[in-house]
Amino acid sequence: MADIKLPVRDMQFVLFDLFDYEAHCQAIPEFADTGADVVNAILEELAKFCENVLAPLNAVGDREGCQLNDREVKTPAGFREAYQQFVAAGWPSMCNDTEFGGQGLPESLGSLMNESVGTANWAWGMYPGLSHGAMRTLAEHGTDEQRQTYLTRLVEGAWTGTMCLTEAHCGTDLGMLKTKAEPSADGSYSISGTKIFISAGEHDLAENIVHIVLARLPDAPEGTKGISLFIVPKILPDGTRNQVFCGSLEHKMGIHGNATCVLNFDGAKGFLLGQPNRGLNAMFTFMNRARLGTAVQGLCHAEFGYQQSLAYAKDRLQMRALSGPKNPNGPADPIIVHPDVRRMLLTQKAFTEGSRMLAYFTAMQLDIEDHGTNDEAKKEAADLLAFLTPIAKAFMTEFGFECANHAMQCFGGHGYIREWGVEQNVRDARIAMLYEGTTGIQALDLLGRKVLMTQGETLRRFTKLIHKFCKANANADLKTLVDTLAQHNKEWGDLTMHIGLKAMENPEEVGAAAVDYLMYSGYVALAYFWARAAAKAQEKIAEGTSEKSFFEAKIKTAEFYFSRILPRTRMHFAAMHSGVGNLLAMEVDQF
C-alpha cells in the first residue's frame, strides 16, 4: 500500500521563507494571532490525521467504491469513521466566521488543509470539501434564520452540503437548465427536476445533506438570467425526509470513493436563497473559490505520485548507468541514476513545489480580498485572484495529470498494476481537468473575461510584480534566470496585445488562442515563483544556514525548470500566433 508523508518542510518553505506568512497574517486584524506556532501546530495535527487515517483508506475507497441500496449510499469501509474523527477534531470549522461557530482562521490555511487531505485521499476529501460551496453561498446570501438553521450545522460538520448545478443536457451552459421551482402556499417552493454529477450528493457520513439547487421559477426569463438558488435539505427542519433521492451512482474512471449521484427532485421542498433570478450571479464567487480548490487537486496527485516514484526510483535496481556502475556491489544500479528517470522526477518536483507556491500565493489573495484593511491592497488582491484562479485551475490540473503519468512511467510496467497506487492516482487526477469548468472554459474565462475585458488590467497587476522582482534581483548568480523571466514577462504583454487586436476583428480568435494562452501563462507564473524561490534560497545560503542542502536543491530545481520546462512556452507562443484560420478552415463534414 502506498504511504504518504505530508511535505511539511516544503509547505513551510513556501509559507514562511518565501511569502512571509506571519507578516501576511499580522497585516490583517482578524488573523494577527495566526503566527508560525499556530500554523505549525495545525500542520503537525493535519499530518497525523492525513498520514495515519486518510491515506490508508485511499486504495480501499478505489476498490470498494460506493454502493447504492434502496436509495441510500454506503461509502467505503472506514470513510464514515474517518469523517467522525475529522469532525471531532474541529477541522470543518477552521476557516468559518466565529459568529456561526467557526474558528475564524484564514482561508489560505483552509487551502493548506484541502491540499493535505487531498494528497492523502482526494475522494474522501470531497465529502467535507463540497460543503464549502454551500457554506459560502449561505453565508453570503442566506437570511439570518437560514444561516442559523443550516450554516451552523455545516460549520460543525454534522451536516454536509452540495452544489446542484449540472443537468444531463447542460454542464457548461447553465442557461439551458430545466429544473423547476413552483411556489407553495407556505412560502417554500416545490422543486422538480434531475441533476447529475452531484459529488457527495448522497452518503452515510453525516446526518443531513444541504443541497443548494439551481432552478427556475415559473415566471423566470430564459437563459442564465432566470436561474434562482434554493436550499433543499435531505432532512427537513421538522425531521421529515425530503423528496430528493439518489437515482443512481455514476461508474467513473476514478475517485471511486466519492459518490457521484444522479439526484431526483420530485416536488422536494426548497427555500429560496437570495434574490429570485439572481442565482447565477450568486454562484460566481463560489465558483471562483471552488476552482482554486480543484487547482489544488493537481498538486495533490502530483505530490502523491512524486513520493511514490521517488521511493521506487531509489529502490528499483535495473541496468547500469551509461557512465559506469554506481552501485557496483549490487546486481544493477538504482534507476534514479538514469538521466531520463531524473527528468521525470525533476519535472514532478519542479511542478509540485512550483504549483504549491502559485496555490498559496493565490489563496493568500483570498485573505486580503476578504479581510484586508487597505482598499488599494484589497483591489490588487481581487485582481490577482481573478487573474490567477483560472490559471491555477487549468494549468495545475493539466500539469498535475502529466506528473501523475510521469510517476507511473517511472515504475515501468509495474505502474500499470493496481498494487502500487500510481495507476489509481492517474485515474483520480484525470477528473480535475473536467469538473468545475474544463480547461477550455478556464481558458476562455482567463483570456476573455479576466484579461481582455479588463483591457489587460489584471494581467498587469501580475506582470508588475514580476517586473519589480526582476529589477531587484539582477545579480550575477541569478542573471540567466532573471533575464529569461524578464523576456517572457515582456513577451506576455506583447502577446496579449497581439491577440486582443486580432480579437477585435474576429472574436473567434479568443477561443483559438485561449488554451495556449493559459498554459503559456502558467509556465511564466511558475517561472516567476521559481526565480523567487531561487533568490530566497541564495539569500539563505549567503546568510549561513544549517539547511544548506535543502536550499541548494531549490536553486537546482529552479535551474531545471528554466532549462527544461519553461521552453514549452515556445510551442504555445507559435500556436497562438498561428491564429484561428487553421482551426476554422475545415468544414464540419471534412473532419
For the record, the C-alpha cell of 440 comes out as: 477550455
Tell me, residue by residue from 81 to 120, as one string, x for binding to its own copies by CB under 8 A and - for no binding: ----------------------------------------
Which one, 370 or 402, has the nearer CB to its own copies? 402
Is residue 438 near its own copies by the rule CB under 8 A?
Answer: yes
Beta strands in 32-137 (DSSP E): 67-69, 72-74
Q: Provide the mask over 543-582, with x wherever binding to its own copies is found by CB under 8 A and - wherever it is not.
A: ------xx-xx--xx-xx--xx--xx-xx-xxx--x-x-x
- Cβ(363)–Cβ(396) under 8 Å? no
Q: Give the distance, in angstroms, between the CA of residue 395 and the centroid of all CA atoms in the same chain.
A: 10
Q: In angstroms, what is the minimal distance from the CB of 582 to its own copies?
A: 5
Instruction: Identify residues 480-519 at the interface with its own copies (CB under 8 A).
Output: 506-508, 510-512, 514-515
Please tell me whether residue 390 binds its own copies under the rule CB under 8 A. no
Task: Compute the least distance from the CB of residue 165 to its own copies, in Å.
Answer: 11
From the CB of 338, what's the least distance to its own copies, in Å?
Answer: 6
Q: Which residues from 343-382 bind its own copies, rule CB under 8 A?
A: 343, 345-346, 349
**Grid coordinates given for 190:** 416545490
Among 67, 85, 148, 172, binds its own copies (CB under 8 A): 172
Q: CA 402, 410, 398: angle at the middle one, nearest 5?
A: 5
Identify which range of 23-31, 79-87, 126-134, 433-441 contacts its own copies by CB under 8 A. 433-441
User: 104 or 579, CB closer to its own copies?
Assistant: 579
190 counts as binding its own copies under rule CB under 8 A? no
Choose between 231 and 341: whose C-beta lies nearer to its own copies. Answer: 341
CA-wise closest residue to 130 among 258, 273, 304? 258
Q: Per CB under 8 A, does 331 bind its own copies?
A: yes
Give the 3-state secondary structure of residue 297: helix
Interior CA angle at 509 toward 504 and 511, to 5°?
A: 125
For residue 179, give the nearest of 268, 253, 246 by alpha carbon.
268
DSSP 3-state of 587: coil
Residue 141 or 430 with smaller CB distance to its own copies = 430
**Active-site entry in 115, 423, 436, 509:** 436
- Site residues for its own copies, window 394-413 (CB under 8 A)? 401, 405, 408-409, 412-413
Segment interacting with its own copies (CB under 8 A) among 104-112, 130-138, 248-256, 530-538: 248-256
Q: Taking CB under 8 A as the rule, does residue 339 contact its own copies?
A: yes
* Nearest distance from C-beta of residue 164 to its own copies, angstroms: 14
Active site residue 436: yes
Contact 61, 121 (CB under 8 A): yes
Rounded to a whole number of angstroms, the minimum distance from the CB of residue 180 to its own copies is 17
Q: How far apart are CA 470 and CA 486, in angstroms?
A: 6
200 phi/psi in degrees, rounded to 5: 60, 30
Q: How far is the CB of 407 from its own copies (least distance, A)?
A: 12
DSSP conformation class of 455: T
x/- binding map, residues 196-215, to its own copies, per CB under 8 A? -x------------------
What is the Cα–Cα distance from 561 to 458, expressed in whole angstroms?
25
Q: What is the DSSP string of 334-349?
A: BGGGSHHHHHHHHHHH
Q: How far is the CB of 20 from its own copies (least distance, A)?
A: 25
Cβ neighbours around 253 below 10 Å, total: 12
Is 423 among the residues that bind its own copies (CB under 8 A)? yes
CA distances from 291 to 89, 315, 395, 401 (A): 26, 37, 12, 16
- Which of the residues 447 through 476 are near its own copies (CB under 8 A)? 448
Among 44, 145, 340, 457, binds its own copies (CB under 8 A): 340
Q: How far is Cα 134 from Cα 206, in angstroms, rounded to an integer?
A: 15
- Binding residues for its own copies restricted to 298-327, rule: CB under 8 A: 310, 314, 317-319, 321-323
Phi, psi of 4 (to 5 degrees): -135, 155
Dihedral angle, C-alpha 280, 286, 288, 294, nearest 10 °: -120
User: From the CB of 510, what's the least distance to its own copies, in Å?
Assistant: 6
Contact at 8 Å (CB) between 339 and 460? no
In the bound state with its own copies, the residue whose beta carbon lies nearer, of 392 and 514, is 514
CB of 198 to its own copies, least distance (A): 11
Q: How far apart are CA 454 and CA 288, in angstroms?
A: 17
Phi, psi of 73 (to 5 degrees): -105, 130
Of the candidate spans 135-143, 171-179, 276-284, 539-547, the one that interacts with its own copies by CB under 8 A turns out to be 171-179
Contact between 284 and its own copies by CB under 8 A: the answer reads no
Catalytic positions, written as ranges: 436
